[in-house]
Amino acid sequence: MKVRDAVLADAEEISVFLQELAALGKRSLPSDEAYVISHYIAHADKVRCSVVEDVDGTLLGLQILKRASEGNTYGVTAGWGIIGTHVRPSAGRRGVGRALFAETFDAARQAGLEKIDATIGASNPEGLGYYEAVGFRTYKTNEGSVSKCLELTAETAPVPK
Ligand SMILES: CC(C)(COP(=O)(O)OP(=O)(O)OC[C@H]1O[C@@H](n2cnc3c(N)ncnc32)[C@H](O)[C@@H]1OP(=O)(O)O)[C@@H](O)C(=O)NCCC(=O)NCCS
């Protein structure tokens, strides 16, 4: 597995596995290529958008880290990071999410982010378990969702690669 920056040419393949997630009821946001480009690969507030590539070149997952702008639609404090993670269903629980986060963590540090928000559906045990596993902790519960935060202090341990 290799982690690298997402490029526009990845949009089609990413869209396919996002549609697979949607078909399994694990995604409710749009999954088309245009959305992948505008909201992930080329978003104006992007700090890092990474993909994991398998040895045969298949894309196994995507992680996006954005910087929250004033009045962002997620209701996240301006200046915090906002993270999203999407792993191809057939590649689940193989460490793709962990590999992505190691890159994202470095990017967050380099960008000087102090906190990252992850908002997850309250009935999404894999999402909740994943973000807990990489160090996020619940700071807010909303109707139907749970918001977790990772604080990046000088003492925050780096994520093993
Ligand atoms: C959540 C998700 C990103 C996890 O990605 P992944 O590549 O499967 O995660 P990893 O294999 O790196 O697992 C890391 C840790 O997360 C936790 N985790 C992963 N899948 C889990 C599951 N199904 N149930 C509980 N915990 C889980 C575990 O602690 C795991 O560590 P372990 O395998 O050593 O026990 C992936 O399942 C996914 O894309 N789900 C659909 C979309 C989604 O829910 N995104 C996140 C919320 S928006």
Confidence of residue 147 (pLDDT cuts 50, 70, 90): very high
* pLDDT higher than threshold 70 for residue 115: yes
Distance CA 105, CA 120 (A): 18
Contacts of 95 (CB under 8 A, 6+ apart): 1
Rounded CA separation 16/51 (Å): 14
Residue 31's pLDDT is 98
Are the C-beta atoms of residues 42 and 59 closer than 8 Å to each other? no
Ligand 1 centroid to residue 118 C-alpha, Å: 13
- The pLDDT confidence band at residue 138, using thresholds 50, 70 and 90, is very high
Residues 6+ apart with CB under 8 A from 112: none
pLDDT in tens, 69-113: 999 988 999 999 999 999 999 999 999 999 999 999 999 999 999
Specify the amino acid at residue 46: K
Fold classification of 2-151 is Aminopeptidase (3.40.630)
Residue 74: the pLDDT is 86
Region 118-143: mean pLDDT is 96
Confirm if 147 and 117 have CB atoms less than 8 A apart. yes
Q: Determine the residue of 52, 93, 98 to mutate for testing ligand 1's pocket, defined as the one with the most ligand atoms within 8 A of the Cβ atom.
A: 93
CA angle 109, 44, 83 (to 5 degrees): 45
**CA 87 – ligand 1 centroid, Å:** 8
- Choose which residue among 19, 120, 126 to substitute to test ligand 1 binding: the one with the highest number of ligand atoms within 8 A of its C-beta: 126
